[in-house]
Amino acid sequence: MQLFYSASITQESDTYTFPREESKHIIRVLRKQIGDPIDITNGKGYLFKGEIIDGNPNKCKIQLQDAQFQAPLPYKLHIAIAPTKLNDRFEWFLEKSTEIGITEITPIICDHSERKQIKEERFQKILQSAMKQSLQTHLPILHPAISFKNFLKSQPQASLSCIAHCEEGEKHSLTKELTAGKDTLILIGPEGDFSLEEIEQTVQLGYTQITLGASRLRTETAGIVACHSISFLHQ
């Protein structure tokens, strides 16, 4: 099965015409022909089944025949994570966390952040590609980058709100804090970790200080460990 994506398709749609670039891929690369089946999702939980009715490589058109809603993840996971200095590492996190299972991602700009801008359009494409690759129909929400301070002000806390950091002090193991089905928010800092002031701000707000293991992890690795821990709990 190969899955395609378009945010514009709804249950009321009868047909859909792919844009030029994707039409060329379908007709010339995949060598699809009129009558061949096509699976497509709108990223909102729906899997649409159809068949090609126009094999034009510039505007491949499909007749939609069926729409099936697939249940979302049995949990909600929001990871607020500092963009890494090297873009490819953050992109790796976006790809793998989508494949594992995540619902929301917010890039946060912290005191020690070396990268303060993101390529939101490119990141969206990576999420879409990872969703299609893993045959999922729910596209994770990617929020605009925001400062750490403003994130704390604007973001409602989840049932379990955590901050993962490497500073000394009492911290709880994430795996021991998790409960199946509970909404979870996890903050993960930049390569230089959160500042002491940032950690104190979350403590004042009631965030749980957590550890992700004995090893000191890179930012993107910490994000994947947190994501997998929650996914594994629901297997």
Residue 224 and residue 136 in one domain: yes
**Which residues are CB-neighbours of 59 under 8 A, at least 6 positions away?**
17, 18, 20, 23
Tell me, what's the pLDDT at 108? 97
- CB 70, CB 45: distance < 8 Å: yes
Residue 62 and residue 83 in one domain: no
Tell me, what's the pLDDT at 179? 87
**Which residues are CB-neighbours of 49 under 8 A, at least 6 positions away?**
37, 38, 39, 64, 65, 66, 67, 68
Residue that finishes a domain, picked among 17, 46, 69: 69
Residue 56 and residue 139 in one domain: no
Residue 109 and residue 176 in one domain: yes
Domain holding 36, by residue range, is 3-69
Tell me, what's the pLDDT at 72? 95
Residue 218 and residue 145 in one domain: yes
Residue 195 and residue 150 in one domain: yes
- CB 52, CB 62: distance < 8 Å: yes
Give me the CATH number covering residue 18.
Answer: 2.40.240.20
Give me the CATH number covering residue 168.
Answer: 3.40.1280.10
Q: What is the rounded distance in angstroms from the CA atom of residue 184 to the CA atom of residue 161?
A: 6
Residue 48 and residue 29 in one domain: yes
Domain count, the chain: 2
Residue 106 and residue 47 in one domain: no
Residue 149 and residue 221 in one domain: yes
Tell me, what's the pLDDT at 143? 97
Residue that finishes a domain, picked among 47, 69, 91: 69
Average pLDDT per consecutive 10 residues, the chain (235 residues; last block may be shorter): 93 94 94 96 97 96 96 96 95 98 97 91 97 97 97 93 92 91 94 95 96 92 96 89
What is the C-alpha R_g of the chain?
20
Nearest to 182 by CA among 143, 106, 233: 233
Give the predicted TM-score (pTM) of the model: 0.93
